[in-house]
Structure 1
Amino acid sequence: MMDRTMGLGPGIRGARALVSGLALAAVLGTAGPAAAVVYNEVRLEGAQGVDAETALSIANIRRGSDLSLGDLNDAQQRLQQSGLFETVEIVPQGRTLTIRVSEYPTINVISFEGNRRIKDEQLSQIVGSQARRVFSPSQAEEDAQAIAAAYASEGRYAARVDPRVIRRPGNAVDLVFEIREGDLTEIERIGFTGNRAFSDRRLRNVLATKQAGILRNFIRRDVFAPERTQLDEQLLTDFYRSRGYADFRVQAVAPEVTRERDAFYVTYNIYEGPRYTFGNVNVISEVPGLAADSYVAQNRVRPGQVYSPQAVENTIRRMEALAIQQGADFVNFEPRVTRNPRNQTLDLTFALTRGPKIFVERIDIEGNTTTLDEVIRRQFRTVEGDPLNPREIRNSAERIRALGYFADAQVETRQGSSPQQVIVDVNVEEQPTGSLGFGASYGASQGVGFNASLSETNFLGRGQTVNLSFSTASGSQGFDFTFIEPAFLNRDLRARFSTWYRTSDYENAKLNTRSVGFSTGLEFPVSPNGRLELGYRLSKDKLFDVDPVEISPETGEFIGSSPILVSEQGERVTSALGYTYNYDTRGTGLDPLTAWKLRFSQDFAGVGGDVESVTTTMLAGVESRAWREEVALRAEFEAGALVMLNDTESRITDRFRGSGRIRGFEANGYGPRDLNAPNEDALGGNFFWAVRAEAQFPLGLPEEYGISGGIFADAGSVWGLDNAQGYNRDTNDRDGDGNRTEFVDGTVDDGMKVRASVGVSLFWTTPVGPLRFNLSKAVKKEDYDEDQPFDLSISTRF
């Protein structure tokens, strides 16, 4: 019957040397406490796998030596600490010294009990004890601590590990680690001291670490991780300094664990300091022969502007670019700051100084298990053999992080093969780059609609983007595919190819459409925040299954579709060249509170095909923060115009229908209508405009829940047809089938009538992705418009 000990136990948990009291008393009685005894014979008893010479060597005892009581104690300690013996007993008997030992057993098997979160295979790699090796209590204790540390690294600081032994015949034991994993040690509360400019809520939103909330079983950012503290400190520092607090610092971070070791309270002690603005700004040169005058124009820092490190970096970047153009190597641009605490201004001087002549020997990249080296390497403007520009190295690190492919990216330099050369080390940590998105919507006439999208932004580790999307709603389906190469020909050229197949069976118009085609484009930078794309589009659009125009002989009522749609039936090929200009300061703007975006595009159809037109669209948007940055404000204006050429007329497949979306209306739910058609057919328009405004704000719930609210207001219009003259009155039976067709004048409404809506939103950052729910109310509409009172969207990453 096996015997499981209640622990390592006496003699197992820690060896105890037993020196015979009677024998030592005899020694002390005959020789005195300091006397030495010569032992002519030394015996080793109880050893099986260790021979006598080895034991004596460990004990440092030689036959015939003078040994005092202190020497015997030292010998005992050495034998005990050797890890070979479970018990050690030294027995002096006259001139004979007997050493009685019992050896540690051999480990038969090592097993783990109670572990679910960490598998046996992983734990086996952690422990140092090994099967078929001598059992060591100290090693077993170290193994238990290592296992507990592994659980702590996963946020389970309450984990307990107890090593147990099971005695087996033949001086063998089974070593069992009994594990109580415990719950995740969450962060129950994150607090701040010393903050006056921003609330605790706002600062908690800055941190990567979050408090535990109702989603504690899913969210892992609420688990205490000491290594995350450094990142949070940097995030706080960047946040404050980008808003003018140049003296900000985190003075201390105090994590406090509860008595039950199941939660942490983390407190950040910060010093904000005053908020600075720029004072005097100068540019000087300390390099002989290099005038500062040409660099003054590159300065973008203005007196009175709120201090921002990004503004200084932007100016230095422009100056360095000019120095490269002028061939001025090894020139440093040193920002020298003078604080004026009395008026809270910073005087800034950009000093041109001569730097050391150091070159880049090579760039080493590690940690990229998926992403190819070339994807990372092309983020460097510096190559092997170039003069070292420390600021450019830092900018390269920022560009690598901005790719979104890596959870962490560190770029450092070290001395190369000579003092005049450096090696750039890049260490990255991969993260998921794919996303899976789902959406849902509901319309009064269209019913429930669904869409799904699959996106990969680092396809095969090449930095390429692949998007697949599918949508369906009440008989309408769509499939889209897009491929993007961000570095075409290994240059800053973004090549795009898209193709699509879409069919529509409109519920608010008795017609079907089918569109199939492709487009391609080449995009390149034209300014620090602006990019221009040149593109081509080829599509075949078909309008079919339009009900004929008739009057029912039974009821005398008009049946069928609008004559405008009947006349537009058929298939057209559109071949168009175009361009799109994008300007976006998000992520690169100097003002951390405000971001702008602008898009302007034109397509010129008529390069072959059946359509001759010019389509122009534009979008301008701004996002800003107010009320101590707790509220996000967004506004957009969008407009478009379709102008047909050479006396041609637009078709519904060319006109604007879903563009200029106003929340509260279906995508094709407002705009020109044939009011005489039984279904009041939606016709689309040649022109549109829309303005959208919204505010997102906290709801007073704990921010770790990831729930915030919003309000919005939209307005806009779609209008204009090339032929909206109505119908001619004609009651003749032209086709001889006995039915008369009546066309009534003035039944097409294509005027520029404003629609408007208001609504509320709920934003929820869930474990599977951000979710948004809109509840809308159309406050200005026509009787024939189609509402969409609510919609829902969600996306996730993998």
Structure 2
Amino acid sequence: MKAASRLMSAVSAVALSAGFATAGAVAVQLAAVASAEAATVSRIEVRGNRRVDADTIRTQVGISPGESFSNADLDEAVKRLFATGLFADVSITQSGGALIVTVDEYAIVNQVLFQGNKKIKDQSLVQSIQLQPRRAFSNQLMEADAEAIREAYRRIGRDDATVTARVQELDDGRVNVIYEVQEGDRTKIATINFVGNNAFGDRRLRDVISTKQSNIFSFLLRNDIYDENRLRADEEALRRFYFNRGYADFRVISSTADLTDNEYTVTFTIDEGERYRFGDVAIESTIPGVNTDALRSELRTRSGSVYSAEDVEDTIVGLTESVAGLGYAFAQVTPRGNRDFANRTISVVYAIDEGPRAYIERIEIRGNNRTRDYVIRREFDISEGDAFNQVLVQRAKRRLDRLNFFQTVNITTVPGSEPDQVVLVVDVVEKSTGEFSIGAGYTTGASSSSGGGFSVEGSITERNFLGRGQFIRVAAAGGEDSRDYTFSFTEPYFLGRRISAGFDIFRNTRTFSNSAGDKIYDREATGGTVRFGLPINEALTAQFAYNYTQEEYDRDSDVENSDLSQAIQDALDQGTWRKSSVSGSLIYNTIDDMQNPREGIHATLTTEIAGLGGDAKWAKFTARANMYQMLSEELDLVGLLTVGGGHIVGFEDDLRVFDHFNSSDRIIRGFKYNGIGPYQLVDPTDPDSNRDYLGGTTYFHATAEAQFPLPVVPESFGIRGAVFADAATLYGSDVSGAEGTGMEWRASVGASLIWASPFGPLRVDYAEPVVKESTDRIQHWNFGISTRF
């Protein structure tokens, strides 16, 4: 037992000694760690720097000699040095009393050079890359820039373009960055196919989407470039097209693009589903004090009508605004649909509830490289701090789409910093807003009108000038006997309000001839207009303007009074003529697509009063309405009905002959300009003498037209056909001795080719008069720039 006790005591002593030894070692290590965590240095040495001053590096380190520092301080110092973007590598070590900072500087970019690029100029490529002269070089940035250049080529349809980046070493740590480009061939879209479509043919659906098949004009329009984002937008366009035509179950199963021999075959596989009509339509409200019967006037959906998602959206907008006007800013309108598959109807109940209280923390705009932020923000009726309203957000999206500044507009929400805060994120993809248009036309001379022959017109238009949303247009036109110059400017948000303001300046010269084709006088008109537009609602706009024109006439020295009618002599003897007038217009516009209209109404009613100074003293009233209606979706047959009229009345003396209305192809086709209506014989005693057409004080006109695609012409060419019937009358005159002043109607029928060309809308008309007077001047052909509205 004693031996065992002594053994245990020895073991305990050894263990205790070992424990003290371990504790001592730990204490030494802790002391070392404490020393490292609170070290001090006497100096800071900088090594490896060539261009960056050593003191600048010491400042970034943030540790001064004599100060204590920790490992965390060293980590922060390394991060600060890397954040300057000047160094490829940084290390900090301690050697005795010195802190050694070793850096490896990036090279400095001397030049960025592009080689082999022809389709995209250097200036455009420079805007796509990040590396710039006098900035630090980075291999990562160089590779990223090479990919950005490849993406730029993909956007112009050159998917197989290759870009090789390399560095040319120079002295003093400088490098030239060189991008060698092989542009390759331009890809084309050979075919666009649709699978699963029964209600609408491929031709009609190809017209809905923005991606087009390649044709001989594609190099100008650039609408045959495959782009995945554009394909996604085309899917959405197809959905809206079907949803607005009753196909509530429509879906895009897939959209693919196969590339073979540098040509894409695009295929949309779709499921149309059944076509529905609206069943019962009702309004329910959980908000006390909201009278649902009083809100029924806001319904745009009618029982029995073809189902339309757009009509549902318009109803939601109307109901939301009406309820908000009652003081319920957070009211939420939710449509509930109930499908009756047997009868193919959808009953809709619009449920009005007090929605969650949410406010807009901020509006974040992305993707606008050119368009200013405020141009986008001003299309919103809500701003930071306002109550969130989904209806107003969707209205802003529609306005942004209508600006025609962007390829796509996407508005999403993300949670804000507080539970009741949301952030609106507006993502836009910009597109070109500049346009160059050139066109030609042909007319034949008419009595007291400008001479005939070919004429050309060119214009340069910028819809988003300097990214400010302003509109500028410069146009010039000329023919054998005419010259026209115009400059227009429009600010759509005058003084920060939704009021448009602008001006137009013009100068026109014309040479006029008699019915025998002899030139008799020249007219030079110079003037301008200052105008303001005030939107009343989404479809109706009021416009007010002040107009000033000065006209000067120069009679041909070879023309005798015997060659002119008395009315023309009297007008020419008046010399310089000045018109000072004010005008007001109401413009109603629900056209679905101003470039290619198929449905909607565009109507204008204008009153102009002259007499605020100047020589003219009259009041003029004009009106014109165009109504488009889709007659057959399957055949893409569009109907157009146009009606219009005008009347002018003098205040004091009789009207000048030059103040009367003249007929034109906008009133009736098949007749020469100013070729119908009142006239005066040059020799009143000779009924066979030349006639000078005077115009009339009143006119009415109407047109019925059907437009359709040409079966043998690809729709991507933008050429359509039309057949029409015109009717018009031009009568009344304040000129003494005028003849043909009665209200005789004229009528014509004809056919047209309409081309949405890269140079602007062009149109060729052939018209055959079927009701006419023996004194009328006939003109079968008319070719020129198409003016729809």
Taking structure 1 as the reference length, what is the TM-score of the superposition?
Answer: 0.72
Seen in structure 2, the aligned counterparts of structure 1 residues 291 and 600 have a Cα distance that, compared at 3 Å, is: closer
Map of 1:7-156 to 2, 5 A cutoff?
Answer: 117=119, 154-156=156-158
Asked if the contact 1:546–1:561 (Cα under 8 Å) also holds between the matched residues in 2, the reply is no
Of 517, 520, 531, the residue aligned with 1:521 is 531
Query: Cα deviations across residues 379-410 of structure 1 (Å, max 9, x unaligned)?
Result: 00001111001221122122112111222322
Deviation per CA, 1:9-67: give whole Å up to 9, x if none.
Answer: xxxxxxxxxxxxxxxxxxxxxxxxxxxxxxxxxxxxxxxxxxxxxxxxxxxxxxxxxxx
Are positions 1:619 and 2:624 aligned together? yes
Counterpart CA distance in 2 for 1:573 and 1:120 is: 52
Q: Which amino acid aligns with 1:577?
A: V
Could you tell me how far apart the structure 1 residues matched to 2:143 and 2:528 are? 66
CA–CA distance in structure 2, aligned partners of residues 548 and 773 of structure 1: 37
Query: Residues 546 and 266 (structure 1 numbering): CA distance in 2 closer, same or farther, change over 3 Å?
Result: closer
In 2, are the aligned partners of 1:127 and 1:146 still within 8 Å (CA)?
Answer: no
SS for the counterpart of 2:567 is helix
Of 557, 561, 564, the residue aligned with 1:561 is: 564
The corresponding residue for 1:41 is: none
* Structure 2 partner of 1:644: 650
Cα distance between partner residues in 2 of 1:760 and 1:160: 50
**1:705 is matched with which residue?**
717
Counterpart residue number, 1:322: 322
In 2, the alpha carbon distance for the partners of 1:339 and 1:490 equals 46
1:498-517 matches, cutoff 5 A = 498-508=504-514, 510-517=520-527
Does the CA-based 8 Å contact 1:623-1:632 persist in structure 2? yes
- Match of 2:395, SS state, is helix
Q: Give, in whole Å, the separation in 1 of the partners of 2:474 and 2:368.
A: 26
CA-CA distance at 1:752 after TM superposition:
3.1
Q: Given that residues 435 and 795 in structure 1 are in contact (C-alpha distance below 8 angstroms), is that contact kept between their aligned partners in structure 2?
A: no
The SS at the match of 2:304 is: coil
Amino acid at match of 1:684: G
1:466 pairs with 456, 464, 472, which one? 472
Displacement of 1:789 in angstroms is 4.0
Q: Separation in 2 of the partners of 1:313 and 1:751? A: 51
CA–CA distance in structure 2, aligned partners of residues 424 and 141 of structure 1: 33
Q: Secondary structure of 1:347's match?
A: strand
| Cα separation, 1, equivalents of 2:499 and 2:180 | 59
Name which of 239, 242, 246 aligns with 2:241: 239
Alpha-carbon shift at residue 543 of structure 1 (Å): 4.8
Matched-pair contact (CA < 8 Å) for 1:546–1:566: no
Q: Which residue of 2 aligns with 1:581?
A: 586
C-alpha separation in 2, matches of 1:396 and 1:158:
39
Q: Is the partner of 1:297 in helix, strand or coil?
A: helix
Structure 1 CA distance, aligned partners of 2:287 and 2:404?
40
State the Cα distance separating 1:418 from its structure 2 match: 1.4
What is the CA-CA distance between 1:232 and the residue it aligns to?
1.1
**Letter matched to residue 311 of structure 2:** A
Answer yes or no: is 1:696 the counterpart of 2:698.
Answer: no
Equivalent position amino acid for 1:596 in 2? I
Partner in structure 2 of residue 22 of structure 1 = none
SS in 1 for 2:417: coil
Where 1:398 maps in the other structure, the secondary structure is: helix
> Is contact 1:612–1:645 with CA below 8 Å preserved after alignment?
yes
Structure 2 CA distance, aligned partners of 1:110 and 1:467? Answer: 36
Could you tell me which of 668, 675, 683 is aligned with 2:681? Answer: 675
1:301 corresponding residue in structure 2: 301
**CA shift for structure 1 position 316:** 1.4
**Separation in 2, partners of 1:723, 1:177:** 75
Deviations 1:282-312 (A, max 9, x none): 1111235545344333223221121111211
- The one-letter amino acid paired with 2:643 is F
Superposed CA offset, 1:739-763 (max 9, x none): xxxxxxxxx3333333333333223
CA contact (8 A) 2:506 2:526 kept: yes
For the aligned residues, what is the CA RMSD? Answer: 4.0
1:751 partner amino acid: G
Deviates more, 1:313-322 or 1:244-253: 313-322
TM-superposed CA distance for 1:691, in Å, is 1.9
* TM-aligned CA deviation for residue 478 of structure 1: 3.1
- Cα distance in 2, alignment partners of residues 323 and 668 from structure 1: 55
Range with greater deviation from structure 2 (468-477 or 277-286): 468-477
Q: CA deviation at 1:275?
A: 1.2
Q: Distance in 2 between matches of 1:649 and 1:111?
A: 73
Does the alignment pair 1:757 with 2:748? yes
User: For the Cα contact (< 8 Å) 2:600–2:628, is it kept in 1?
Assistant: yes
Q: Is the CA contact 1:630–1:698 (under 8 Å) kept in the aligned structure 2?
A: yes
Corresponding residue of 1:540: 550
Distance between the aligned counterparts of 1:459 and 1:768, measured in 2?
Answer: 20
Choose from 616, 633, 637 the match for 1:631.
637
Letter of the 1:690 counterpart: H
Report the counterpart of residue 272 of structure 1 in structure 2.
Answer: 272
Structure 2 gaps of 5+ residues are 1-110, 132-138, 167-176, 446-450, 684-688
Q: Shift in Å at residue 466 of structure 1? A: 2.6
Q: Return the offset for 1:698.
A: 1.7
C-alpha displacement at 1:787, in angstroms?
Answer: 4.3
Q: What pairs with 1:162-177 in structure 2 (closer than 5 Å)?
A: none
Check the 8 A contact 1:123/1:147 in 2, yes or no.
no
Deviation at 1:687, TM superposition (A): 1.4
Q: Secondary structure at the match of 2:279?
A: strand
SS state of the match for residue 749, structure 1? coil
Q: How far apart are 1:655 and its partner, in Å?
A: 0.7
Secondary structure of 2:440's match? Answer: strand
SS at match of 2:693: coil
In the alignment, which residue of structure 2 is the partner of 1:211?
213
CA pair 664-370 structure 1, distance change in 2 beyond 3 A: farther
Deviations 1:146-173 (A, max 9, x none): 9877765654455679999xxxxxxxxx
- For the 8 Å contact 2:473–2:488, the answer to whether it is kept is yes
What is the CA-CA distance between 1:468 and the residue it aligns to?
A: 3.1
Question: Are the structure 2 counterparts of residues 788 and 467 from structure 1 closer, same or farther at C-alpha, using a change threshold of 3 Å?
Answer: farther
Query: C-alpha distance in 1, partners of 2:144/2:411?
Result: 35
Counterpart selection for 1:685 from 696, 709, 712: 696
Deviation at 1:333, TM superposition (A): 0.5
- In percent, how many aligned pairs have the same letter? 36
Quote how far apart the aligned CAs of 1:243 are: 0.8
SS in 2 for 1:506: strand
Whole-angstrom distance in 1 between the partners of 2:586 and 2:488: 19
Equivalent residue number for residue 339 of structure 1: 339
More moved, 525-534 vs 276-285? 525-534
Measured in 1, the distance between the counterparts of 2:335 and 2:523 equals 62
Distance in 2 of aligned mates of 1:194 and 1:772: 35
CA displacement at 1:623 relative to structure 2:
0.9
Cα distance in 2, alignment partners of residues 566 and 655 from structure 1: 16
Contact 2:160 2:184 in 1 (8 A): yes
Answer yes or no: is the 8 Å Cα contact 1:444–1:787 preserved in 2: no
Q: Partners in 2 of 1:140 and 1:457 — Cα distance?
A: 35
Structure 1 residues 112 and 239: CA distance shift in structure 2, 3 A: same
Q: Secondary structure at the match of 1:210?
A: coil
- C-alpha separation in 1, matches of 2:679 and 2:742: 10
- Which residue in 2 is equivalent to 1:595? 600
Q: Which moved more, 1:147-156 or 1:391-400?
A: 147-156
C-alpha displacement at 1:182, in angstroms?
4.3
**Matches of 1:289 and 1:583 in 2, distance apart?**
35
Q: Is the 8 A contact 2:361 2:422 kept in 1?
A: yes
Taking the TM superposition and a 5 Å limit, the aligned residue runs for 1:650-669 are: 650-658=655-663, 660-669=666-675
What is the rounded CA distance, in whole Å, between the counterparts of 1:330 and 1:383 in structure 2?
15
How many residues are paired up? 644
1:217–1:353: structure 2 CA closer, same or farther, 3 Å change rule?
A: same
Contact 2:725–2:750 (CA under 8 A) maintained in structure 1 = yes
Give, in whole Å, the separation in 2 of the partners of 1:263 and 1:523: 47
Please tell me the residue identity of whatever aligns with 2:651: L
1:403-552 residue pairs with structure 2 within 5 A?
Answer: 403-445=403-445, 446=451, 447-508=453-514, 510-543=520-553, 545=555
Tell me the CA shift for residue 200 of structure 1. Answer: 0.9
Equivalent residue number for residue 169 of structure 1:
none
